Each structure stands twice: as C-alpha cells, then as structure tokens.
Chain A
Amino acid sequence: MRARIIKINGPVVVADRAETLKMNEMVRVGGNKLIGEVIGLDHGEATIQVYEETSGLKIHEEVEGTGRLLSVMLGPGMIGNIYDGIQRPLSELEKVGGAFIARGVEAFPLSRDHKWSVKLLKEVGDEVEEGEVYAEIKERGIVHRLMVPAGISGKIVKKVEKEEFTIDDVLYILENGTELGMYQMWPVRIPRPVKKKLPSKIPLVTGQRVIDTFFPLSKGGTAAIPGGFGTGKTMLQHQLAKWANADVIVYIGCGERGNEMTEVLTEFPELVDPKTGKPLMDRTILIANTSNMPVSAREASIYTGITIAEYFRDMGYSVAIMADSTSRWAEALRELSGRLEEIPAEEGYPAYLSSRIAAFYERAGRVITLSGEEGSVTVIGAVSPPGGDFSEPVTTHTKRYVKCFWALDRELAYSRHYPAINWNTSYSGYVEDLKEWFVKSVDPSWYDYRSKAMELLAEDGRLQEIIKIMGEDVLPDMQKLIVGIARMIKVGLLQQNAYSEIDSYCPLDKQFKMLKIIIDFYEKAREFVEKNVALSEILKGSVVSKLMRMKEDYKSAEELEKLEREVHEHFGKLEKVYKE
C-alpha cells in the first residue's frame, strides 16, 4: 500500500504510511507526479518537501517512493547545459511546456541521443579500484574522465567495443556483475569522498585587481561577497565566472532574476576564455532556479551545484562554483522551516542555519582525489543582507566559515566605484598562504608593495575623517600627498570597468606593474616633500593624469614600462630644478 497525502501546506506535504518511505528518499507526489523529497518521518507520518508548485494537489492522492535518495546524474553532457535546481535541463522543459515552466515533467539530465566517442583505458583482466579512471571522452572544452564510483572495485571480465556510445551504454562489466557505464548517480547531500585535503598554496587568478592584488583567493578556498542590492554582487560573480582561471565553472543562480540567467546564456557563448581561446560556455555549467521558481528546488540547487563541482574535481580539475545568492537559499530554509512549524532561532531562521552553511562551505578544498590526482573546488557565495546590514544571521554565520570576505559597499556603488569592494572592511585569510606563490611567480617584492598600498589606504581612511570636517586644505603637504596617492590607488587601480575591452581582465604582471608605478611614485614624491618642495610642483605635469588612466591606456606590463620611464624622467627633471 502506498503512502497517501493527508495535509498540504504550500510546498510541504504530509503523507501517512511512512513505513513505505525512507529518509531523504526522492518521491513522486500525486497524480501529476510532482518531484519531492522526504525530509521527516515521525509517528507513521512522512513530511515531504515538493520541488514543484503544489496547486491542484488533493488529500489522499498517492505518494510513490523511488527507492533512491535525491541524486544527480553525473556523466558527459553537463558542460554548457543549464539546469533547474533538481538537475532538469531547462531546454528539455521548454520542449515539453513551452516558454512557461510546466509541472510534473520528468526530464533526463543528460542527452540520451548524443553519440560520444569514448577512449577506453582498461582491458579485460585489469583490476580497477574506486575513483580510477576507466575511460575518457572529449567534451567541449575538457577531457571528461569516467571514474569507478566510490565503493566499487574488482576485475574486469567484459569490455564493450563500439565506435560510439550513448549515455545508456555499458562499457565494462566486473567480475561481481557490476556494470561500469557512461554515468554515475550521487546523492546531493553527501560530499564525494577524497583521499586527502591539501593546504591552499595556489591562487585562483581572477584578473580583478582588488581581488588578486589586495584580497586574493586560493584554489580550493572559500569567499563570500556580501552586499545590499545594487552594489554589484551579480556583476562581480559574472566577472569571476568569466575570468577566473578554473578549468570548470559551476554557476548557480539561486533565487535570483530570470533576465540575469538569460544574460549569461546570451553572453557566455560569445566570450572567449583567455586561457584556452575557447568559448566560455565550453567550461561552464549553469543552474538556474530563479526567484519565482518553487522555493524547495531553490534549497536543493546549492547541493546540486556543489555535487557537480565535486565530480569534476575528482577528475583532477580545478573547479570554481559561484552561488548567487546564498541568502536566497537560507531564506528557502527559513520558509520551509516555518511550514514545518519548527521553533525559530534568530530572525525566523532555523537553528540549523549555521551548520548548513558550514557544511556547504566545507565541501570546498584542494584535494588529492581517489585516483591520486590533484583537484580543487573553490566556493564563492554571494550574500544579500537585508537592508545591507552585515550583522544579520546569514552574513554573520557565513563570515565564520569563509576565509575571504569581499564586502560590497553601498557608498562606493553610489559613486559608481566598481567593483564596490570596500578595502577597509574586506579581508583575505589567504594572503600569507599565497605569499610564496606570488613572490615566486609575480615579483619578489609583491608582498612589500601590497603592504605599502594597504598601509596608505588605511592612513587615507584616517585622513578622510579630518577632511570631512576641515577640508583638505588644512593638511600638511605630506598628508596631502598620501590622500592624493590613495586617490590614485582608488581610481587608477582599484576601480575596474567590467565593460572595458582592455580592463575587464587585468593580467597579474600588469596588476603588479601598476601597483609598483604608483608606490614608486609615492616614495619618490615623498623624498621631495621632505626636501620642502611644494606638492603642487611635484604633481605638476601630465604624468599624474597618465597614472590615473594607465589601466585603459596601457595594454600590458611591457607597455607600462614606458610610463615607468616617464615617471623616472619626471622626477629627474624635478631633481635638476631643485638641486640647489
């Protein structure tokens, strides 16, 4: 006898005959076979969250167990695709329901028609272990490695030889009868196993100066982008998805705008990855559960995304996952918790909010995979604090579990200073971890220059307080110089135009050169101020405005050497005039 619905409250449904169902089992609810998941079993009653709109559902309709946990299907065909929160391809849903999303549609996550040419790596008689790669497929921008699922090992007794394979084909059969096919299933709420976690030593290069130079993120690291509306969270996430030097990008639009996902879909296929020269879409997987799509699927979308990311990590790739926005996910938790009549903690959020956030970010990391490769999952989560107030529960709990905090500032956004990352309130816990890499790969003095710039910005922050009250004129020349240089750092270096062809992505050597030119300029200018040369004389000439515009006017670090010489000449001339 099947379970039957006895209560309906929005996306939460209660059924009787709970003994027929398992915890976290995926179920089909009612005559329309809506997709749901069992989230509680108690006194013969099963609580189910339904991932689709429940309008029209009736009491005593049946609930059918599927016998498996809510899982994703992992195999070739995911790259370049766009899914909803429970891995249904949106283009398949469109074929069935048209422009508006229909209900109860079962869509196979991977294309069943596509024919793949597969390179089989094992022979009959070979022993395989969990995590071992047994076949390779060229899929758009990457080599897709098929791995023996966790917990499975044995001797191969049969190998299927074919020109081309489809997703339903079997490639190998093991002694114990296990089939190795083109895909594997994995429950979304359980992290995929790895051999070992590694420390963070390599940066995720994003081409964004304020991030790479000032608040760097490591591969396998975690970062949060909190900011009120209009401060540019989504814009920054898009920039990172475009330019971060990861092999695979998983972008989750969680409870956000439909048009934004469309923008990614229109723009990414046209943009070229600076590293590989291929369209950005060839390394990107999109998960879109827009704000008006069912709230429980929004809750699941984060897990769907990170499980896919882990799968690619296990192949030995560096994967970056962008979740925009984790606040919407937390709100989904709150909404469901309210429907379950749980006792709320802060601001109506359930008491397990903190542990759920922790569990999500803890799935990031640089690892040695089961097959012995090195891979990483970097997690970047946007946070949308109500009223831009960073003391609210989602922001404060997130802060506890991430090491990079890129705080977006409304004041900066209002004055169109983008990216609006506030240099005083942001931090990166990776600076020391990554120091060695930057010193080795960019410049031996990278760390010192960076520290100097941070110091100047901090000093400027203090001086701005005085300026607000008394005006800049009251400051002595030395402090005016600091304010001027800080302005140069803010306008010339930290601001970066996402729409500029030249400046949208800034390579590391150019970033460093720009920083170096400004700081060297400061050191030189300081010497003159100390010799009592008027500041207006020191800053005279076209060289200052060239420094302000160098991000746009000079394409590369090499071109900037010209400007470096000009700065040198500028001070050379000054030297001559004031020699006496």
Chain B
Amino acid sequence: MKRQKLIAYFFLAFFFLCISICTSGKVLAASDPVGTATGKAADLGVDAGTLTIGKLADFVGHNTISINFMWLLLTGFLVMFMQAGFALVETGFCRAKSAAETMMMNFIVYAIGMTGYWICGYALQMGGVGGFASLGGGAALSKEITITLFGKPFGLFGGTGFFLAGASYDVAIFAMFLFQMVFMDTAATIPTGAMAERWKFSNFCIFGLFMSMLIYPLYGNWVWGGGWLAKLGENFGLGHGMVDFAGSSVVHCVGGTAALAGAIVLGPRVGKYNKDGTPNAIPGHDIPMAILGTFILAFGWFGFNPGSTLAGVDLRLAVVAVNTMLASAAGALSAMLYMWYTTGKPDPSMSANGMLAGLVAITAPCAFVNSISAFIIGAIAGVLVIWSVYFVERVLKVDDPVGAVSVHGVNGIWGCLALGIFADGKYGAGWNGVEGTVRGLLYGDASQFIAQLIGCLVCFTFVFVSFYAFFKISDLLVGIRVSKETEIEGLDIPEVGALAYPDFQTIVSSEL
C-alpha cells in the first residue's frame, strides 16, 4: 500500500510540474507551436539587410527545385510500393499450389529490373532527353542517336547515362532514375500475371533483363526521352506528337502486350480448355489478397499520375490526382454493375480488374481532361476490360489468369486514344516543343488523335513482335514452360523450393 501511495504522490507532483512549465512564459518564448515563426532569413545564413535580389532569387529557385525533388522522390516511393500491389493481385488470382513461385517472380523482378535499368536501360531511354526543367539539371543526358527519314530526324535511343556514371553522377539525373526505374518495373511485372502458374522461373529471369535493358527503354525513349513519337507534332504537324502523361502506353501497353505475346507462346494452363475449346474457370485461391493488392495499386497510383507532373510546384497535380481517383471509382463501379446485370452477381475479381482498368486508362489523359471526361474514361474502361477478358479467353483462347492483357494492354491503348478524344486544351502548353495546349478530337484537334493512334500502333506492333520473337527464341535456348507434372503438382517446390502454405493441405487430385 505504502509504495502505491508513494507512486501516486510522485505522479501528482510530476503532473503539477508539467502544468507549471507549460504555463510559464519563459519556456513559451523559445517555442513555435503554430509554426508561423519558424523559417527566417537567418536560416539561409545571410543578413537580411545586405541580401540582393539576385541572391534572393537563387534561394527561391533552389527552394522550388527542392519542392520538385521532394515530390518526385516521394511519388516514386509510392510507385515502388505498387510492386506489392501487383504481387498480391497476381498471387491472389492464382492457385495456392503456385503461390510462392508467383510471389517470387513479383518480388525478384524488382531487383532484376533495377539492375538492368541501371546498366543500360535508363541510358537508352533518357540518355538524349537533354535535361529536366523541373529538376533544374540533367543536361549531361545529351546524346540521342537519330536517323533521318523523310528529311526529318528520328530519335531512336539515348547514348549517355550508363551505370549512372561519369557526367551522370548528378542529383537531377539520379532523382529521375528512381522515378523512371519504378515505372519500368511496373511494366516488367505485368507479364508475370498473365503467364503465371506455368512459366519457367529461369526464363522469367532472362525476360526481366530483356524488358528492363532493351524493349521498355526503347519505346520509353520514343515517347518520353525525346524520341521520334514525341516529335510527330514538331516534325509532321500531328498535334503535340504522341502524348502519354504517365504511361498508359509506355508502361501499361508495353507490359500488357508483352504479357499477350508471352501467354500465346506459353499456351494455356493444363485444364483451362476442354477438348471442344470451351474455357473452364480456374478460381484464384485468395480473393481478399487480390482486393488488398488492388487497393495498394490504387494508392500507388497517386504517385504514378500526380508524380508525373515531375514538379511539386505544378499545381495541376490536384486535377491529376482527382481525375485519377474518379476514373478508378468509375471503372470499379461500371465493372461491378455490368457483372451484376449480366451474371447475377457483382463478381469481386472482375470489379477489382475494373478499378485497375480505370486507373490504367486515365494514366495517359489524367492531366489533360476535366473530371466528367475522367469519369467517362474510367467507366468505359470498366466495361471494356470485361469484354476484353471474354475476348481473350473465348475467342483468342489465350489463358490470362489475372486479366493482365485486358487491364494493361487494352486499356493502355484506350487511355492513349481517350487523351486524343477528351483533352480539353487547358494544359500542356508547349508540350513536346509544339506551341499551344493539348486538344483532343472533341476540342478541335483531330491530328492529336492521329498521333495517339500511331503511338498505340507502334507500341503494340513493336512490343508484340519483339517479345514474341524473344519468347520463341528463349524457348529454344532454355525452355519457357515447366513440365506437365510440375504444373499439376504446383510450381512452388519444383521451381523455387518452398511451399507458400506448408501448414495447409492443398488437395491436388485432378488437372484443375
């Protein structure tokens, strides 16, 4: 009892001491509880009396660029987290017997892709971009390899920035590397979903390098690195050239098209199609996991799209962020309602695909459209993804367990075309070196739509042919598909040597 009393007295005394300190004027004088007094000229290390306008402007410039750096890096970190979203969506839509292997692909693609992109991917993509205005630097990336066709220069790929070494040892170039690298890795992780449950892990590893070191950087250069698609406006009068704000084509269509090529070369999973060609559903083992992954992706998209302003001081990012979330809601809603109406149940996995489809579709136009257009674009995406899933499964007879081809490929194209239709002329002054703002078909610039169409055609054709050839050749060299026994048993033990759920008995009796 005595001890408890002592403790009680002690706390009472401490409490009164705290109150007396809090109310004493002396302590308050040195603190700034509201925040308005923090940050003065003295913090710049200069005397306000002798400060020149030029020096002051330098400080403002440094601050502006710093805000842009912070924005770019923070949104880049958000996009990095999308890797977790992809891992959960893809694994949730696959079966328990291959869950560890599916996770392992989604996990290690981050490391493989980054390594390849650091070696040469970034250099090929951005090596000729000539600098980043919003980051106040990067001029060392000055070498674009071009050829001349029709009397105009066609930029093909960059030639500086390998290993981020030499003149590329620069803060702006490093910051942009982080941002571009996580975008590239998004594209690289898309095919792991469409090709899941039958793709040889070793083949996948080689794919990761091919994507990050060559194919993604090339198309990325053509649209974002100052290459020939970006110059379609300057050279041929087609709108502002191919415009893709955050990567409907560069990231999603590239990933989705590679996924299609891969899934075709691999063939469907054992048991997916009956002898008469009708498809069987193969339910995913963890829908809650897939829904969680969808939410993580939607969260990461706040980095993907708003971050693509490349500048925290470009306040258009508020419009970008709101358009992004509106399109995601519209996609999820339209997909859910469509499934509810046509099948009787609001299918969770298809609704999740609908949200992702809306996000993919708004990725290119998010900065150029108003909120009503954003909602329409997302709503169309939500139905388009379902039609596409049916088309891929029932007409093309291609087995895509997670709907990656439909979500990323088809809606990536839809997003780029949507920009060419709905861009309202409020934003994008001087984009790709063309005067005026970006306008779509409905706002008086049909040539912008043509540029988008060309961009999409080039994307699909180039990526599909490249990856079809890659997968065919790599099949001859190292093999692309696991044995039938491995596939029926599940890829976990044969391919990566670890079961996802060793404590649970998973009955593997039939081909399903």
A interacts with B: no
